[in-house]
């Protein structure tokens, strides 16, 4: 399984975050319209993701993938271990999974994607839930001994409790392994209940 470190917070001004991401050297990678269908699996998380991606150069493509992942239920930065499988027949696959496990919910969002080093910056507008900033940094090792090492050198956000993010350029460790650091900008407080809600089906 691959691993990444994720952090998500509600946001009051996505445009301001986009401007700060660009100033920090992030590259704009286009707009993704996503539909995530979640299934009621008891021991992990399972979702079917349908994506339509419009790139900055005007090209576009669509894809569907099944994402099987494990992630703790807590507010703040969380490590997610996952596998991804391309799906050619999303309607048939969704019906089969719903029959086997049951349907947990469907989330639709528009995502502006920015990239800096191994970190994806997601500026999300989620239908019925609001606007969020999410950071995803891929670890530089596999699960196991290498994954543990990689986890130490991926993004380490400070505790979540804010509504926007300021990005800093990566800093090299003494062992010359890449490490991405983030500092969260305190623009305004968010309630604990709101933060919990934002991490529900993501």
pLDDT along the chain (202 residues), means of 10: 91 95 95 97 94 96 96 85 95 96 96 95 97 89 39 39 38 40 35 38 66
User: Residue 201's pLDDT is what?
Assistant: 64
Query: Are 144 and 2 a contacting pair, CB within 8 Å?
Result: no
pTM comes to 0.72
Question: Alpha-carbon distance 85 to 142, whole Å?
Answer: 17
Residue 14 belongs to a domain with what CATH number? 2.40.320.10
Give start and end residues of each alpha helix (H) in the chain: 14-23, 90-101, 145-152, 192-198
User: Residue 148's pLDDT is what?
Assistant: 39
Q: Is 86 exposed, middle or buried (0-12, 13-18, 19+ CB in 10 A)?
A: exposed
| Tokens coding 199 | 């991490």
The torsion angles phi and psi of 201, rounded to 5 degrees, stand at -105, 0
Query: Are 34 and 42 a contacting pair, CB within 8 Å?
Result: no
Per-residue CA distances from 64 to 85, 98, 107, 135, 160 (Å): 9, 16, 15, 22, 30
Q: Quote the domain boundaries for residue 117.
A: 2-198
Per the structure, how many domains does the chain have?
Answer: 1
User: Residue 140's pLDDT is what?
Assistant: 62
Question: Alpha-carbon distance 22 to 44, whole Å?
Answer: 35
């Amino acid at each position: 399984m691959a691993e990444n470190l994720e952090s998500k917070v509600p946001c009051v001004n996505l445009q301001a975050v986009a401007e700060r991401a660009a100033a920090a050297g992030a590259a704009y990678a286009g707009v993704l319209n996503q539909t995530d269908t979640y299934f009621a699996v008891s021991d992990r998380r399972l979702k079917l993701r349908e994506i339509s991606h419009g790139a900055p150069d005007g090209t576009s493509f669509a894809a569907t993938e099944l994402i099987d992942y494990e992630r703790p239920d807590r507010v703040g930065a969380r490590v997610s271990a996952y596998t991804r499988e391309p799906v050619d027949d999303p309607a048939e696959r969704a019906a089969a999974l719903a029959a086997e496990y049951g349907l947990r919910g469907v989330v639709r969002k528009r995502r502006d994607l920015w990239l800096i080093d191994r970190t994806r910056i997601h500026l999300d507008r989620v239908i019925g839930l609001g606007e969020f900033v999410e950071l995803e940094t891929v670890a530089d090792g596999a699960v196991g001994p290498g994954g543990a090492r990689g986890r130490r050198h991926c993004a380490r956000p400070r505790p979540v409790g804010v509504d926007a993010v300021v990005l800093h350029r990566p800093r090299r460790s003494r062992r010359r392994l890449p490490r991405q650091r983030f500092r969260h900008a305190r623009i305004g407080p968010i309630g604990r209940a709101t933060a919990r809600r934002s991490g529900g089906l993501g």
